[in-house]
Structure 1
Amino acid sequence: MSDRPILTTSAGAPVPDNQNSLTAGPRGGVMMQDYQLIEKLSHQNRERIPERAVHAKGWGAYGTLKITGDISKYTKAKVLQPGAETPMLARFSTVAGELGAADAERDVRGFALKFYTPEGNWDLVGNNTPIFFVRDAYKFPDFIHTQKRHPKTNLRSATAMWDFWSLSPESLHQVTILMSDRGCPVSPLHMNGYGSHTFSFWNDAGERYWVKFHFKTQHGHKHYTNAEAADVIGRTRESYQEALYGAIEEGNYPRWTLQVQIMPELEAEKTAYDPFDVTKVWPHADYPPIEVGVLELNRNPENYFAEVENAAFSPSNIVPGIGFSPDKMLQARLFSYADAHRYRLGTHYEHIPVNRPKCPVHHYHRDGQMNTFGGIQTGNPSAYYEPNSFNGPVEQPSAMEPPLRISGDMARYDHREGNDDYVQPRALFNLFDAGQKARLFSNIAAAMGGVPGPIVERQLAHFKRVHPDYEAGVRAALHAAHGYEADAVGAAAE
């Protein structure tokens, strides 16, 4: 026993007895002075922190990004230079479910990456789809409310989801992916990842390029049908955690090929679609993907809470050579993600080891929650403001981005004007073979069970504008699954 570590209180005092409370005699009451008992119970009461409002259920691992291609003419970012190898952390997640939700539910999957670069942390926080449901963050809270529980029933509401989607035709592209085969991947290994938004690169010459990030799985696409997913959930609610953790422990390291699409800055003014609209993809024929490197996950966390639940990803974490775009959703996420972490984890959440950069950090932020460095990040206690005369950290002009050359008058522009929300879903629908279309129709019909007729008809009208076969197929599947008849809807549906 002498070679085992001594159990202590959080202040370091040795604990003489961890089995029995301090009492006034064998049958007496517990004493208030039993600070060890009070400490133990009070810590248990505080073991849980607020779960993420979105993407609450997740699975994570460490790995490396190795750059094998050469895109140095587009970006000065050290993490993306030829031969660079950068340690990183990945977290995959479902969007709608709470912490206890099943892994194998039909849902969009989060695909969040944190790269510990020599110039600071770079976070790429995307999904397993190249697009999203809405193009303006003003609509995002309402959309997420439809994915969560009804305030009265405390149940998920198909009516809320389809009501919102049928009133927001920009969602058609994402809904078609969600209800297709790719809406329920077998595991994190068998799905792609995307930055989804349009970001930007800039080089040493001050030239800017727009960029889309793609991570293509090297393990092939595998997906569950609704019936197969239900069977898996009946056996285990942790199928993704089991698959990811098990693959790494067995040495079957998950790998993705990093590709980028590049658009010269001023070409954004010439495209028939808005290249900053997150509901749209860039056609590969116009902007062919360029292979950049390989992402490999090869180490499981030692403590899930400390390293995955505490992990904080934000698209506002960028490095010199990588920038943003006028994408409305991206612009809002730059605020909301870091703000969510400050609420959930504490003001100085980046002091938590998993979020801490590997490079030196110097700033003038002071005090507040989670301030584990004593408030002195400047190297001199007298340098607690800026500018100062005490050798405190100073700005680095070489990190200045070139100016954006796309601008306009400030106003609340109607995001629906000039946007065709049917052409890209039509192109996707036309790529599906007969079996994929049949499963798409069936999945939509299953998800529409119990939805009021007027909402169903509104959504069917959108499907018809994509392609008449899309509407006809879903209508037939609704009849087969639920006995749905348009006549039963009445005049309100017309």
Structure 2
Amino acid sequence: MSTNKKLTTSWGAPVGDNQNSMTAGSRGPTLIQDVHLLEKLAHFNRERVPERVVHAKGAGAHGYFEVTNDVSQYTKAKVFNGVGKRTPLFIRFSTVAGENGSADTVRDPRGFAVKFYTEDGNYDIVGNNTPVFFIRDAIKFPDFIHTQKRDPQTHLKNPTAIWDFWSLSPESLHQVTILMSDRGIPATFRHMHGYGSHTFKWVNEEGEGVWIKYHFRTEQGVKNLAPDLAAKLAGENPDYHTEDLFNAIEKGDFPEWKLYVQIMPLEDANTYRFDPFDVTKVWSQKDYPLIEVGRMVLDRNPENYFAEVEQATFSPGTLVPGVDVSPDKMLQGRLFAYADAHRYRVGANHNQLPINRPKNEVNNYQRDGQMRFGNNGGGSVYYEPNSFDGPAESPEDKQAAYAVSGYADAVAYDQFDHYTQAGDLYRLLSEEERTRLVANIVEAMKPVKVEEIKLRQIQHFYKADPEYGNRIAEGLGLPLPQEV
């Protein structure tokens, strides 16, 4: 095969021989002056960046968001205003606990992270395929993830650690019920909903605010995998979900989701029956119905996995005017942790990479650092305030204020009802779905080595619904704990 392109080194010089090392005579040794060989081997040793601590295994795609309903009365965020307006986006789907080479079809929540390239900068919605999470305070996150990873001695997954943590953290019960239900193993990335999970604040042009929650609802329908088929696929095709997404887009079967929001007046947060900032809880759709915002379409595969999917960085703190945060304790921790993870993993200038770079002009006083792209600000003014017409703040884009009160202290959420919503979810399931839920939990708890942990967890199931607890206890061959 002929080509007019010359192979070059990384500094652009043409390569005369890419098949044979430079040696002293035909039998060597190899010469250190073969700088092309040295460059190839040195770069090869550095081809991997650290994998994500969580959400390491993932797949991504490009697409667009189209507004289908005017919500300008609620938010000034331009991405959500103007029926028919389209904004380019990139999405990354992922599993949470496994390593980069793990199987797609394991029982695990799925990451659902969307980057909108808006005219006011990038906006990220970084959520999961579940509306709630296992914990509600970021201080517990490192401990929780440790239980999902490998035991430091055996280097094996440790069901005893997993259920020990969950049994000592009853706020996890709602998410555990979802995880162990049919929804715990989606059929594909295309056949699952996505959620922002946390509560956010929308602010309109008049400075009026509302609390909101995001819901991406799949237009393909929700489909899940039976555990035996999921296990078979994990062995035969561990990249099943990655392959499915790529192939669907490649053949023009573009997946779609509709974006809805639930909207809560600010004052309702003080009187609602659950704390609306607690990410282990959902808002009833009877109280706050879904309001359509637009549709998301994925229509283009990445050209290069590493450049686009692996180096894509998302953070719930990547915000635009019109979207503010809430006092959600888990969200508050993520605002720091996500961007900090990217600074460690990809570098301080990760937002200058093409996949992360905003479409609008970036003007700031950040300079230098590893992998600085462009002209590094050139000779322009490099501090603020200044007298040389450098970029200046725009007061109209400040985040809206909200009232706070109380003492500086390590304080838990006021509400400790961890059982009502988990029980409601159990009772919403059909008898067949309940049977599969119980079977999944029993199978997952059997390897737990400490009976006290099993009994403690059974109490939580029983408090959510007596039938729920009884069936788990029977499946494990254990008596109901005396406490219940």
Q: Which runs of no fewer than 5 residues in structure 2 stay unpaired?
A: none
SS in 2 for 1:230: helix
Q: Tell me, yes or no, if the aligned pair for 2:324 and 2:400 is still in contact at 8 Å.
A: no
Give the drift of 1:3: 4.7
Deviations 1:378-432 (A, max 9, x none): xx624011111222111111111221135443321123x4220001101111100
Q: Aligned letter for 2:360? A: C
SS in 2 for 1:152: coil
Please say if 1:65 is aligned against 2:65: yes
Q: Tell me, yes or no, if the aligned pair for 1:367 and 1:374 is still in contact at 8 Å.
A: no
Q: Aligned letter for 2:25? A: G
SS in 1 for 2:296: strand
What is the aligned partner in structure 2 of residue 173 from structure 1?
Answer: 174
Q: How does 1:52-451 map to 2 (within 5 A)?
A: 52-83=52-83, 84-376=85-377, 381-415=379-413, 417-451=414-448
Q: Tell me, yes or no, if the aligned pair for 2:108 and 2:184 is still in contact at 8 Å.
A: yes
Q: Aligned letter for 2:415? A: G
SS in 2 for 1:383: coil
In 1, distance between residues paired with 2:108 and 2:4?
A: 47
SS in 2 for 1:332: helix
SS in 2 for 1:398: helix
TM-score when normalising by structure 1: 0.95
Deviations 1:83-131 (A, max 9, x none): 2210000000000000000000000000000000000000000000000
TM-score when normalising by structure 2: 0.97
Deviations 1:131-172 (A, max 9, x none): 000000010100000000000010001000000000000000
SS in 1 for 2:355: helix
Q: Which runs of no fewer than 5 residues in structure 1 stay unpaired?
A: 479-483
In 2, distance between residues paired with 1:440 and 1:420?
A: 22
Deviations 1:10-67 (A, max 9, x none): 1111100000111111112111110000000001000111000000000100000000
SS in 1 for 2:179: helix
What is the aligned partner in structure 2 of residue 30 from structure 1?
Answer: 30
SS in 1 for 2:307: helix
Say which is worse superposed, 400-409 or 290-299, in terms of deviation: 400-409
What is the aligned partner in structure 2 of residue 462 from structure 1?
Answer: 460
Q: Aligned letter for 2:328? A: D
Q: Tell me, yes or no, if the aligned pair for 1:351 and 1:370 is still in contact at 8 Å.
A: no
In 2, distance between residues paired with 1:475 and 1:435?
A: 18
SS in 2 for 1:234: helix
Q: Aligned letter for 1:223? A: N
In 2, distance between residues paired with 1:425 and 1:470?
A: 10
In 2, distance between residues paired with 1:291 and 1:155?
A: 44
SS in 2 for 1:353: coil
In 2, distance between residues paired with 1:2 and 1:250?
A: 30
In 1, distance between residues paired with 2:155 and 2:266?
A: 47
Q: Aligned letter for 2:19? A: Q
In 1, distance between residues paired with 2:425 and 2:379?
A: 59
In 1, distance between residues paired with 2:47 and 2:415?
A: 50
In 2, distance between residues paired with 1:201 and 1:267?
A: 15
In 2, distance between residues paired with 1:402 and 1:169?
A: 34
Please say if 1:474 is aligned against 2:475: no
- Which 4+ residue blocks in structure 1 deviate beyond 6 angstroms? none
What is the aligned partner in structure 2 of residue 481 from structure 1?
Answer: none
Q: Aligned letter for 2:439? A: S
Deviations 1:431-477 (A, max 9, x none): 00100000000000111122121100000011110111001111222
* Matched residue count: 482
RMSD of aligned C-alpha atoms?
Answer: 1.5
Give the drift of 1:2: 7.0
In 1, distance between residues paired with 2:370 and 2:446?
A: 47
In 1, distance between residues paired with 2:317 and 2:123?
A: 8
Give the drift of 1:274: 0.5
In 2, distance between residues paired with 1:229 and 1:3?
A: 45
Say which is worse superposed, 217-226 or 303-312, in terms of deviation: 217-226
